[in-house]
Amino acid sequence: MSRLLPTPDALVGKRFDVALSKMMGISRMKAAGLVESQQATVLGREVSKSGILQAGDTIELDIVEERPEPEPLSQDLGVAYEDDDIIVVDKPVGVAAHSSVGWTGPTVLGSLLARGVHITSYGAPGRQGIVSRLDVGTSGLMLVCKSELAYKEMRRQFAQHEVVKTYHALVQGNLKQDKATIEAPIGRAKVSDFRFSVTPAGKEAITHWDVLERFGEATLVSVNLETGRTHQIRVHFSSIGHPLVGDPMYGANPELSAELGLERQWLHAMQLEFRHPRTHIWTTVKSEYPKDLREALEMMRSRHK
């Protein structure tokens, strides 16, 4: 669970690491380490450890803590692609990307390490090798880096939006258009530490979608993300009045979710396309719908024959 710290007036104009050390009562070296590992960031803009804090800046802390007990392992974590540089896992629902405060379930990183998979040491402690994440409640493809070369190059590709990420989502209602783009900034919602919303103070977020199938009360869409904000697909479709089926946090109808047997949002990371970090060959990795999403979709189709 993350913490938000408004910048005190007395620390406006100070270096980020200097201010953070004073606010937390820790050494400047430790504060700099939190900034470099992205466990301490400034909401809404990128600030290095030597960057200057401005009036109104809010610092977000997401500090990885050691777990008192060994984490449970995911036995259902599939592998869609693997070589000496990267591994693309097919993540089941209920598995987090990495350890975080308050999470006691299995993680992708922990489960891979327990299997003896070599993961690069590059990256923040407890998040090494990870260059992009999926929510706990979202299934599908996620790439983890095994080599230092892969970590540097894939982090660059994700940051430059060169990786093509395709999701399938079942959204409530009948979308008017066959394809469109949602471009709206996303930031943390004021009402909850766990929710996000469209807000002028948020970070740029761009979502492209195409209709695959229409059911009247719901629409199956293919989604491509230009950016990778937390809950981006869920927030963007909710913002246009079409929340994901099975997603009550962002306004889904619980009755429809129950009728379809869904206990989470209907959202799956279907395909990753990227240039291989070592060979530079354009690489495509694909996934299939997991059982719960497949059965819910078949039920939806049978309702509208």
* Domain-terminating residue out of 160, 193, 219: 160
Could you read off the pLDDT of 129-183 as tens digits, one per residue?
999 999 999 999 999 999 999 999 999 999 999 999 999 999 999 999 999 999 9
Is residue 283 in a domain? Answer: no
| Residue 234, both tokens | 């869920």
Q: Per-residue pLDDT for 291 more than 70?
A: yes
- Give the residue numbers spanning the domain of 193: 165-269+292-303
Quick check: 98 pLDDT over 60? Answer: yes
pLDDT at 284: 98
Spatial distance between the Cα atoms of 141 and 133, rounded to a whole number of angstroms? 9
Same domain, 296 and 182: yes
| Pair 199, 298 in one domain | yes
The mean pLDDT value of the chain amounts to 92
Helix (H) or strand (E) holding 82: strand 78-82
> Of residues 17, 57, 85, 135, which has the active-site annotation?
135
Structural domains counted in the chain = 3
Show the tokens assigned to 154: 């894939």
Same domain, 14 and 55: yes
Note whether 210 and 224 are same-domain residues: yes
Q: What is the C-alpha separation between 146 and 212, in angstroms, rounded? A: 35
- Among 31, 61, 91, identify where a domain stops: 61
Decide if 190 is inside a domain. yes
In a domain, 281, yes or no: no
Q: What confidence tens digit (pLDDT) does each residue in 34-88 have?
A: 899 888 999 888 999 999 999 989 998 887 765 566 788 999 999 999 999 999 9
Residue 101: inside a domain, yes or no?
A: yes
**Same-domain check for residues 28 and 121:** no
Of 127, 160, 193, which closes a domain?
160
Residue 189 or 68, more confident: 189
Give the residue among 55, 17, 22 at the shortest CA–CA distance from 36: 17
| Separation of alpha carbons 43 and 190, rounded Å | 13
Asked if 20 and 96 sit in the same domain, the reply is no
Closest C-alpha to 81, from 116, 105, 117: 117
CA distance 201 to 188: 9
Q: Count the neighbouring beta carbons within 10 Å of the beta carbon of residue 172.
A: 23
The verdict on 208 and 243 lying in the same domain is yes
CB 285, CB 88: distance < 8 Å: yes
* Rounded distance between C-alpha atoms, residue 43 and residue 199, angstroms: 12
Neighbours of 112 (CB within 10 A): 21
pLDDT attached to residue 124: 83
Query: Are both 237 and 181 inside the same structural domain?
Result: yes
Instruction: Check whether residue 138 and residue 254 sit in a common domain.
Output: no
Tokens representing residue 177 in the block: 């258009």
Q: Tell me: pLDDT of 1 over 60.
A: no
Q: What is the pLDDT of residue 304?
A: 81
**Would you give the end-to-end CA distance of the chain in angstroms?**
44
Q: Has residue 178 been placed in a domain?
A: yes
Tokens 């209709």 sit at which residue?
Answer: 211
Q: Domain with 124 in it: what CATH number? A: 3.30.2350.10
Active site residue 135: yes
Domain shared by 249 and 193, yes or no: yes
116 and 238 belong to one structural domain: no
54 and 88 co-located in one domain: no
Write down the number of H helices and E strands in the chain: 7, 14
Residue 235 lies in a domain: yes
User: Is pLDDT above 60 for 258?
Assistant: yes
Residue 71 within any structural domain of the chain: no
